[in-house]
């Protein structure tokens, strides 16, 4: 096989594997991101419930103040009772007392309702905190696994970079420029195998004459349709 073609195939394979490292790393990070998002959502819920509990507590305080006012009103009514002189005054005072008692009953009911609500919110908080702890433990575990995998990917990447730069040291400049020109639009498929007499970049069938030249591998052959560099893949390499 043409030496330049051999170098081009190697270089293209290095470049392809280099481009695949970043998505692999992103994929690892994405695994963690899902768990972090869930944990963040739980934190938001916890904060919202804290706000709701605060509101419930402030409503309860208002009701307590109101209750105290109503109780002192009842005491006033009891005092006034001694000074009553007419039937009309008695009826008015009785009505006032009735209303105050009704309001007290209502305030007590409201306080009970708020207490029940507050304790259900506390339960919800406890559950969410358990969930959050579990989620945070998972994050720690996954973080370790992800870090290890990323470290391995980076090691692999460094090896490929090293091999690539060694290859480039003895690379023909004109061939490199030629390759880079095609790579600009073809990205990682600048150098492609021919399979079933078709270019594996544009998937078009190539004519017999070009195909024969590709098989001979004496020269660098471009796909007549798309311009990518073609090579006949070794039987052993075919997957
Ligand atoms: Zn092609």
Cα Dmax for the chain: 128
Average pLDDT over residues 229-237: 78
Q: What share of the chain is helix, strand, coil (3-state, %, to 5)?
A: 80, 5, 15
Q: Residue 222 — φ and ψ, nearest 5°? A: -100, 150
What pLDDT digit, counting tens, does each position of 106-150 carry? 999 999 999 999 999 999 999 999 999 999 999 999 999 999 999
Ligand 1 center from residue 212 Cα (angstroms): 16
Q: Measure 167 CA to ligand 1 centroid, in angstroms.
A: 26
In this prediction the pTM is 0.69
Burial 97-110 (b: 16+ CB within 10 A, else e): beebeebbeebeeb
pLDDT tens-place string over residues 145-173: 999 999 999 999 999 999 999 999 999 99
Q: What CATH fold (topology level) applies to the domain 14-169?
A: Helix Hairpins (1.10.287)
**Residue 13 alpha carbon to ligand 1 centre in Å:** 18
Q: At 1, is the pLDDT very low, low, confident or very high (cuts 50, 70, 90)?
A: confident
In the prediction, which pLDDT does 239 show? Answer: 42
Q: How far apart are the first and last CA of the chain?
A: 21
**pLDDT, tens digit, for every residue of 42-80?**
999 999 999 999 999 999 999 999 999 999 999 999 999
Domain boundaries, the chain: 14-169, 173-237
Distance 59 CA to ligand 1 centre (A): 74
Distance 157 CA to ligand 1 centre (A): 29
Distance 188 CA to ligand 1 centre (A): 13
């Amino acid at each position: 096989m043409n030496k330049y073609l051999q170098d081009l195939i190697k270089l293209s394979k290095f470049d392809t594997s280099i481009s695949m490292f970043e998505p692999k790393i992103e994929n690892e990070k994405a695994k963690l991101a899902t768990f972090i998002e869930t944990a963040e959502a739980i934190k938001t819920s916890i904060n919202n419930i804290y706000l709701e509990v605060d509101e419930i507590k402030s409503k309860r305080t208002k009701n307590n103040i109101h209750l105290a006012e109503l109780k002192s009103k009842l005491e006033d009514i009891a005092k006034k009772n001694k000074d009553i002189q007419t039937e009309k005054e008695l009826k008015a005072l009785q009505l006032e007392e009735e209303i105050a008692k009704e309001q007290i009953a209502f305030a007590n009911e409201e306080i009970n309702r708020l207490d029940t609500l507050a304790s259900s919110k506390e339960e919800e908080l406890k559950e969410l905190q358990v969930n959050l702890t579990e989620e945070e433990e998972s994050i720690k575990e996954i973080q370790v696994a992800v870090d290890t995998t990323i470290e391995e990917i980076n090691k692999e990447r460094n090896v490929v970079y090293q091999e690539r730069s060694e290859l480039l040291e003895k690379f023909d400049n004109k061939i490199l420029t030629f390759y880079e020109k095609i790579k600009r639009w073809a990205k990682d498929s600048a150098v492609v195998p021919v399979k079933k007499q078709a270019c594996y970049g544009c998937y078009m069938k190539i004519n017999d004459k070009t195909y024969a030249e590709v098989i001979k591998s004496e020269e660098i052959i471009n796909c007549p349709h798309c311009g990518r560099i073609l090579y006949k893949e070794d039987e052993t390499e075919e997957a």
